[in-house]
Amino acid sequence: MNTDSTARLAPINYSTTPPLAHPADDVISTRPLGALYAPEQTMFRVWAPTANSLTLNLYHSPTGGTPKRISMSKSDDGSWEAEISGDQLGVYYTFSAAGSDPRFDPDRELLDPYAKAVTNHDGRSIVVHDETPVADRPDFPISEAVIYEMHVRDFTIDPDSGVQRRGKYLGLTEKGTHLTGRLDVTTGLDHLVELGVNVVQLMPISEFHNQKSEDQYGWGYDVVHHFSPEGWYATERFDARRVGEVKRMIDALHRRKIRVTLDVVFNHTFEAMDRGRIYSFDGLVPGYYYRLKPDGSYWNGSGVGNEFRTEAPMVRRYILDCLKHWVTEYKVDGFRFDLMGLIDDVTLRQVATELHAIDPDILIYGEPWAGGSTPIQVTWKGTQRSQGRSVFNDHYRDALKGNVFNARETGFAQSGHHIHGTKLGIRGAIDDFSDSPLEAINYVECHDNHTLWDRLKISTIDDARITDADRRAMDKLAAATLFTSQGIPFIQAGQEFLRTKGGDHNSYDKPDAVNMIRWRDKLEHRDVCEYYQGLIALRRAHPLFRLETAEDVRRAIKFLDDQFGYTVPPGCVAYLIEDVTEQDEWSHALVILNASARLVDLEIPEGDWRVFGDNKEVSTTALRLSTQLVAGGRATVAPRSALVLGLLR
């Protein structure tokens, strides 16, 4: 494992005035932090170099009571510690910090940033030692990943889900669940297995600010504490059982050959001293953890109040320690970084180096943009080249469905527009911003902005000629384009059966009525769900759809109009994929995407082509009823549909 301090401390290039320096910038601790438990004693250690005194407050209950107050001793590395004899398992604790800086408040009780569990965002830390076993990671390369994004509560909270522990971590461990009254419609964990996805991306499950009442909803991007799982999804919020329940959830997914990646929010936190929200960071080391302007106010590149100062040595260490904790303690398989653009490039490189030293197939990816003005050089698309991380391909998203900031704009799926952008996406962005197709996360829908179905409705509502049947065809076409493209495919939960949020494009605080997965939709749109299932199975069965290098992509993919000079009708894309790695049972695949409203007929390369996907079905075995679509060196493609052909060796 690489712990090279020079990598941690490398200078950052700032795009504007650098953020305010801090007197603790040269004070670095390498000793373990947090509540270091052993049955005989527990060492409590916290980093607070600018404080003059630190007090450990011990409690025997999650709320109320009078604490036992213990003065802590300071070391030269800026850390404070106190060793308490006896078995402290399950003890609740906080810290109080005092110092000459007026931002300290000795009467304020603070969470331990390194606590493995807390009772609430403004509650108490808990001494934890949990030995719940977690099955080993499913063994497959990154190129085979099919990512499925979900919110823990959304996925099982529907009363018709058949899940007993609805909306909880443990709801994702239940087997044999099905739609109420329909044994033939699987839900929950069994649905994931049936669909064929092999990576579940969980929206934030670190402790966040939401008050967790049954009538208050949250996505989780208002993170307060990164080491502790969120209590809203646990069966009990005021003890440490959340730790074991998350492990049981990951164990259940691993046993079904599904990896788990966490959506992590290190670009900002909900804490903000200027708003009176101080829970740990600004209370222990005021002004250190956030990028501050010369006047002491927060930089706000996140758009939600502050920016985590990832380039600061102990902030960088905190991020690395936290990620490695999730990987080693919970066997998490990867991370999606919210607003990755605000995390400095040196930290991201160190993350990739240290995590890949643990497991080279750990997925590291995120959003290569910021939400506002920032003093650092944003890690845009392109900065990830050959650095062991991937980024969301918003160019491809917008080409497929239209720019997300203009809801009425149509893309390739609706109107055949953006042919060039679609071709760039099909090739895994290797002619755009990536060194490898595996650096591109391809998607057309995620938790942000409209669902694909809602976008199809909004962008075509003014054309009375377009029916919902047409929109269903557009959805299938978008999915076929996505899953036959090079790169890593990503879908949002419910996308496979036309999930709608009623047109809401930002449902972060909306109730279950807006956000929950409605499992009856799977029954109503079963044909769409089965189409996605077929596409995923086809992709997983054929290595030529998931090439790993730019060189292989350039050798393998040829567009019929660009490279062969064939005439391709307007609104269509047609391309040949050669099995250049000689790993596939097909020698070639031919994909024809017809986004136009009419049937098209076009010339194709000669060969004994078999049909594996059309406008109704996709399968790993040839479709006998579609053989008439290909004959005499020509192919016929239905309106708003894909035709996927394979040439067996």
Catalytic residues: 338, 367
Locate tokens 């990830």: which residue?
A: 384
| In contact, 546 and 539? CB cutoff 8 Å | yes
Q: Two tokens at 349? A: 């490189």
| In contact, 183 and 251? CB cutoff 8 Å | no
| Pairwise CA distance, residues 497 & 476, whole Å | 10
Q: Which helix (H) or strand (E) holds 423?
A: helix 419-426
Termini Cα distance of the chain: 44
Beta strands in 162-270 (DSSP E): 199-202, 206-208, 223-229, 259-264
What are the CA-CA distances from residue 118 to residues 59, 113, 131 (Å)?
13, 10, 18
The 3-state DSSP class for residue 337 equals strand
Locate tokens 């509540």: which residue?
A: 35
Radius of gyration in angstroms for the set of CA atoms belonging to the chain, rounded to a whole number: 26
Which residues on adjacent β-strands are paired with residue 591? 575, 644
Length of the chain: 649
What are the CA-CA distances from residue 114 to residues 96, 172, 608, 619 (Å)?
15, 27, 61, 48
| Pairwise CA distance, residues 545 & 234, whole Å | 39
Locate tokens 């009538």: which residue?
A: 215
| Pairwise CA distance, residues 200 & 207, whole Å | 19
